[in-house]
Amino acid sequence: MKPPDRPPVIAIRGLAKTYATGFRALKGIDLDIRSGEIFALLGPNGAGKTTLIGTVCGLVRPSAGTVSVDGHDIATDYRAARALIGLVPQELTTDAFETVWATVSFSRGLFGKRKDPAHVEKVLRSLSLWDKKDSKIMTLSGGMKRRVLIAKALAHEPRILFLDEPTAGVDVALRKDMWAVVRQLRDSGVTIILTTHYIEEAEEMADRIGIIDHGELVLVEDKATLMRKLGKKQLLVRLNEPLETVPEGLSGYRLALSDEGRALVYTYDTREERTGITRLLGDLSEAGIRFHDLDTVQSSLEDIFVDLVGQRA
Amino acid sequence: MITNFRAVRAIYVFEMARAGRTLLQSIVSPVLSTSLYFIVFGAAIGQRINEIDGVPYGAFIVPGLIMLLLLTQSVANASFGIYFPRFTGTIYEVLSAPVSYGEIVLGYVGAAATKSIVLGLIVLATAALFVPLHIAHPVWMLTFLVLTAVTFSLLGFIIGIWADGFEKLQLVPLLVITPLTFLGGTFYSIGVLPPPWQTVALINPVVYLISGFRWSFFETADVHVGVSLGMTLAFLAACLAVIAWMFRTGYRLKT
Ligand SMILES: Nc1ncnc2c1ncn2[C@@H]1O[C@H](COP(=O)(O)OP(=O)(O)OP(=O)(O)O)[C@@H](O)[C@H]1O
Ligand SMILES: [Mg+2]
């Protein structure tokens, strides 16, 4: 794994949260977020994603542990820490009677930044909200409200952006637009932490992926490494003549029959130097087994996720 | 510590804009109801009531009525101002911003107090249309006006954080503030009560506010003006202490 060239922009150490109900939502989280990356936090409902984000942003009081943002402790140096962060919450919580322009300008002021209509305009344009700038928020659709929340979070030019399920309930076209916005932000140097239930979103966007379950960080990995490491590949050999059983001579391979004996499935590990494919194909023809097609299937992040979380359940 | 002045201004302007949208409701209705009091109690019934402490009854009730308005409006404005973002969830933004508790309070409470001070002055001007008014100590009058508005806006802020439903938000002003004000000498001098009740009345903090405020108009008071001032400041300090505790523990704001 390539070592981070800069100190982490967020360092989370031993973070735990027990709610007043006695429920342990976070159980000692250790996590470093690297400067400039897109980090996707995956996990089933109730895993603790929102709690983790809320703690870093100052909405949830940690029961134990520390968080520092660019070296600023979120408790003792909260002003400096929070000034760097923009937060887009999971719920669509907006004012109703304010205009888009007013609410975004409010956010900028709240974070102590001087008025800058040019910046607000840039943000609204990038989110295709410019023609809605004088509309009251309650007249907007859900997807537009979501973008208003993003605009509010970007109003003070944060260096770190938390997106808690930014594309929940957003149609496919708009989701693609949002991905573009997120990439653009990352290119401008903003570190992005997002949660999502759409695994293809993480697969598409993230540099690194963390999986959280029952308040514990089960895994943190570079996306590519993760997919390679856990990504088993399957080779499907389509047979001319269906087989009843795997022939004796081939028992040395991890082989299975599928498709009513019309295909042999060979599972191999892409990490290994030798996958054994050449040898297998040679042995097949030696055994007189004739085939007319080959397919390979790579397990997706979704399979990995379901595997991991399923094992623990 | 107050250093993020832009945040204070943002909250203040936001809150004042909210009032601006409901201008008619926030000014007309209090002015109307207070005018009705003047007509009924001042002009109609007041004709049959002797002067109190040498002040015509119609004029005597003016400070009390302004206090009544100031108290109810401050509590209503401030409690709603902080309760509503909690209710809708938009409070997340304030809580995640680089603002101190003092800045949050200054923004919300400052706006609520401003609104009730403006209303108080409008009603005072309205009153001057009905009864001849002379203000003996204008500076003290303003001091009590501002102190009361701030103190009860702080109380409203506390109620707005404590309330977990709209009922509570409305019940407290109805069940606590209004009775305290009516029993606090809005319409009479404490001196006209039977002696045991005079003593009971003195545990009502509103008595001190009205007495001090009335003194600034007519130089007549139920208690010494210094005591009034002291009690007001003590109440203000108590509210600040409660708010400080609420923020320190994250009471009903953070989980
Ligand atoms: N205020 C609270 N009091 C008690 N328990 C809470 C509170 N907030 C959250 N929880 C519990 O903590 C757990 C984690 O919640 P959290 O909102 O962090 O999950 P999440 O991973 O964001 O889930 P989702 O994908 O549904 O958004 C859940 O079991 C939830 O019920
Ligand atoms: Mg969540």
Model pLDDT for residues B39-58, shown as the tens digit of each residue: 887 777 777 777 777 788 88
Q: Do B98 and A111 touch (CB under 8 A)?
A: yes
> How many other C-beta atoms are found inside a 10 Å radius of the C-beta of residue A22?
6
Nearest to B110 by CA among B242, B195, B226, B5: B5
The alpha carbons of chain A give a radius of gyration, in whole angstroms, of 24
Average pLDDT over residues A187-208: 90
The percentage of chain A sitting over the pLDDT mark of 90, rounded to a whole number, equals 55
* Choice between A138 and A199, residue whose per-residue pLDDT is larger: A138
Strands (E), chain A: 10-18, 24-33, 38-42, 64-69, 72-73, 85-88, 160-164, 191-195, 208-213, 216-222, 232-239, 255-258, 263-269, 291-298
Average pLDDT over residues B9-27: 87
Q: Which pLDDT score is estimated for A3? A: 52
| Encoded tokens for A303 | 């399979």
A82 chain-B contacts, CB cut-off 8 A: 96-98
SS3 B54: coil
Q: Return the ligand 1 atom nearest residue B255 CA.
A: 1
Q: Which range is least confidently modeled, A2-6, A18-22, A220-224, B172-176?
A: A2-6
The alpha carbons of chain B give a radius of gyration, in whole angstroms, of 19
- The C-alpha of B235 sits at a distance from chain A's nearest C-alpha, in angstroms, of 30
B255 chain-A contacts, CB cut-off 8 A: 19-20, 54, 59-61
Averaged pLDDT of chain B: 89
Contact A153, A76 (CB under 8 A): no
Residue A2 has pLDDT above 60, yes or no: no
Q: Which residues contact B142 (CB under 8 A, 6 or more apart)?
A: none
Alpha carbons A13 and B200: distance in angstroms, whole number: 57
For chain A, the structural domain boundaries read 231-312
CATH class of the region A231-312: alpha beta
DSSP category for residue B129: H
Averaged pLDDT of chain A: 89
Nearest to A29 by CA among A43, A50, A12, A51: A12
Average pLDDT over residues A142-157: 94
The percentage of chain B sitting over the pLDDT mark of 70, rounded to a whole number, equals 100
Does the complex come out with an ipTM higher than 0.85?
yes
Take atom 9 of ligand 1 and give the residue whose Cα is closest: A51
Q: Which pLDDT score is estimated for A134? A: 96
Model confidence band, residue B107 (pLDDT cutoffs 50, 70, 90): very high
Q: Which range is least confidently modeled, A118-132, A176-190, A217-231?
A: A217-231
Q: Which pLDDT score is estimated for A65? A: 97
Residue A1 has pLDDT above 50, yes or no: no
For tokens 């909250």, the residue is: B11
Model confidence band, residue B181 (pLDDT cutoffs 50, 70, 90): confident
Give the predicted TM-score (pTM) of the model. Answer: 0.86
Q: A88: CA distance to ligand 2 center in Å?
A: 11
Residue B89 has pLDDT above 60, yes or no: yes
Q: Do B97 and A89 touch (CB under 8 A)?
A: no
Residue A195 has pLDDT above 90, yes or no: yes
Residue B121 has pLDDT above 80, yes or no: yes
Model confidence band, residue A216 (pLDDT cutoffs 50, 70, 90): very high
Ligand 1 proximal residues by C-beta, below 6 Å: A 19, 21, 23, 25, 43, 45-51, 90; B 255
Q: Which residues contact A262 (CB under 8 A, 6 or more apart)?
A: A238, A239, A242
Burial class (CB in 10 A: 0-12, 13-18, 19+), B93: buried
Average pLDDT over residues A246-275: 82
Average pLDDT over residues B16-26: 82
Interface list for chain A against chain B, based on CB atoms closer than 8 Å? 19-20, 54, 57-61, 78-83, 85, 87, 89, 91, 93-98, 102, 106-114, 152
List, for residues B147-156, the tens digit of each pLDDT value. Answer: 999 999 999 9
Q: Which pLDDT score is estimated for B251? A: 87
A60 chain-B contacts, CB cut-off 8 A: 254-255
> How many other C-beta atoms are found inside a 10 Å radius of the C-beta of residue A252?
10
